[in-house]
A and B are shown apart, each in its own frame.
Chain A
């Protein structure tokens, strides 16, 4: 029963996400509205973590399976794709690698700046206390 209840809560939040998508004129899918809503409900503790945790973890665990049907759908667009297949593959490979590197490096750069700064203030405090 616990899992049914948890799954029920998740589906209700997903449904509200669909409603938001239907009423708001933004190009944002139901899943993103639902994710933000779930986050808000967890933060405000209106939905406590224990009420969705197990069912949520299960859904996340089997998530890879959910991509298989859409991926196999490449069969359908194959004829349109094959004319530009080589550039398409090159663009996918190059962009994916560059985006990964740029995101990771930029994040580390700002993180290091931040930690260097906080270390500096720590040092100043330390010097002052020793003086």
Chain B
């Protein structure tokens, strides 16, 4: 049985989709925001791997076809962005200001907290790109001498956390404008936050997609400056 699961090409994809479907139906049934479909599917996949004693590499040999689609899907985020182009043109100042404020907040907060927790330089640069999209974040971490596997893990935890808590944070801080909501989700929690923004609406989704690109590029520059501070 174990051998069968380890050698199956479709087990990885199947368990991921089943996990996500269970997450969706739980969410529909109970409507609590902690029952986030993505979080539930991740827990179900990890639990199944541990219980069935399937190692991650065997799971990934099938599940990598899901990851394979991530690059073309990110390319497609240009479509909602294109559909909101007028909005982007007429509000570009506020958009740039908002994303820049977010990126500076991210780098500064990581600096202060790493200082408080006595993190060393390698641990600090590992966390610097935590709010941006995985592909750019990995590159920055590697370039600056961070621990890339932890960077990836923290980026994903940030995304999932932002996805779960996003609506709540926007409500607490009374952020009501659709452009502001989208940018906040995308700048704080990249593509996984954008999934939430897409649920909120077309404008939010487009702005969140834009924030992934701009905050990613700004962080490349910002991290190369901030890496000298600790």
Q: Which positions in A face B, CB cutoff 8 Å?
A: 10-11, 13-14, 17-18, 26-32, 34-39, 42-43, 49, 52-53, 55-57, 59-60, 62-77, 80-81, 84, 87-111, 114
The answer on a CB contact under 8 Å between B94 and A95 is: no
Q: Which of A17, A39, A95, A110 contacts B109 (CB 8 A)?
A: A95
The answer on a CB contact under 8 Å between A81 and B150 is: yes
Residues of A within 8 A of B60 (CB): 69, 73
Chain A interface helix/strand/loop/mixed: helix
The answer on a CB contact under 8 Å between B152 and A70 is: yes
Q: Which residue among A52, A111, A114 has the maximum number of chain B CB atoms within 10 Å of its CB?
A: A111
Residues of B within 8 A of A55 (CB): 76
Q: Which residue of chain A has its CB nearest to the CB of B194?
A: A63
The answer on a CB contact under 8 Å between B67 and A108 is: no
- Given contacts A81-B153, A101-B175, 11 further A-B pairs with CB under 8 A are A29-B71, A30-B71, A39-B78, A57-B76, A63-B195, A67-B38, A70-B156, A74-B153, A88-B127, A99-B109, A105-B180
Query: How many residues in B have their beta carbons less than 8 Å from beta carbons of A?
Result: 107
The answer on a CB contact under 8 Å between A77 and B67 is: no
The answer on a CB contact under 8 Å between A100 and B135 is: no
Assess A105 versus B106: contact at CB under 8 Å? Given A27-B220, A96-B165.
no
The answer on a CB contact under 8 Å between A96 and B158 is: yes
The answer on a CB contact under 8 Å between A65 and B97 is: no
B177 within 8 A of A: yes
The answer on a CB contact under 8 Å between B188 and A103 is: yes
B106-151 interface (Cβ within 8 A of A)? 106, 109-110, 113-114, 117, 119, 123, 127, 130-131, 133-136, 139-140, 143, 147, 149-150
What are 29 A-B contacts with C-beta separation under 8 Å? A14-B75, A27-B136, A28-B217, A30-B135, A38-B75, A38-B78, A64-B37, A67-B38, A67-B192, A68-B63, A69-B60, A69-B64, A69-B67, A71-B160, A76-B56, A90-B117, A95-B188, A96-B188, A99-B102, A101-B173, A103-B180, A103-B184, A103-B187, A104-B181, A106-B101, A107-B179, A107-B180, A107-B184, A110-B98
Q: How far is the CA of A69 from the CA of B16 in the complex (A)?
A: 8
